[in-house]
Structure 1
Amino acid sequence: MPLIEVLGSALLGLALSGAATRVLGRRLPSRRVVLVSGVLGALFGTYLTHFAMGPGDITVTVSIIGGGLVSAVVLSLLLRPVPGARRRPPRTPFTLPSRG
């Protein structure tokens, strides 16, 4: 069973990171970094979920789902702001715009 968990989570992390590079390619670092981060995030998430749930039959599915969630969180941390998007400077609270 642990082999199925490892392979399943690694494939899920690879699929998530591949989809992220295809959809959000301009907002992510290099493709290699994204792929490695997705797979390692999924493996760590599976280990963490398996450790928290303990032994059992349902643990395989739950562990792979937990790995996918941690992989998605790791990939979301790699996102950068949209290039060329400008933000307005923040206004200080309780101020009125000046007309002069």
Structure 2
Amino acid sequence: MFLEALGSAVLGLALAWAALHRLPHRLPSRALVLPTGVAGSLFGAFVTHSALGTGHLLPVLAGALIVSTASLSLLLRPAERFRRRSATA
């Protein structure tokens, strides 16, 4: 279980780092993105481990990756070129 937690935390950190380098203009500060990736990954590993039980390392890491990606996607802001002004602004 320690290996699952450590692996999912490293996976979430790597995913958050990659998102910061790929989409820096669409994400908030680094101090928010990195912990969000790790926390989403740990939560995904916890949920997947609770559902499957022990002995399923790869599916637990896959669940961690999916939840971490979903939580990081909630931080994305719209691209500047697609932003439209409202009629009242």
TM-score scaled by length of structure 2: 0.89
| DSSP 3-state at the match of 2:80 | coil
Please state if 1:80 is matched with 2:71: no
Q: Which residue of 2 aligns with 1:33?
A: 32
- Structure 1 unaligned regions, length at least 5: 90-100
Residue in structure 1 matching 2:68, options 46, 68, 71: 71
Residue in structure 2 matching 1:60, options 57, 60, 66: 57
Identity %: 50
Q: Which residue of 2 aligns with 1:95?
A: none
Residue 48 of structure 1, CA deviation: 0.3
* Matched length: 86
CA RMSD of aligned residues (A): 1.5
Q: Which residue of 2 aligns with 1:17?
A: 16
Query: After superposition, what is the alpha-carbon deviation per residue over 1:65-95, rounded to whole angstroms, capped at 9, x for unaligned?
Result: 1001100000001000112434487xxxxxx
TM-score scaled by length of structure 1: 0.80
Which structure has the highest helix share of the two? 2
* Greater C-alpha Rg: 1
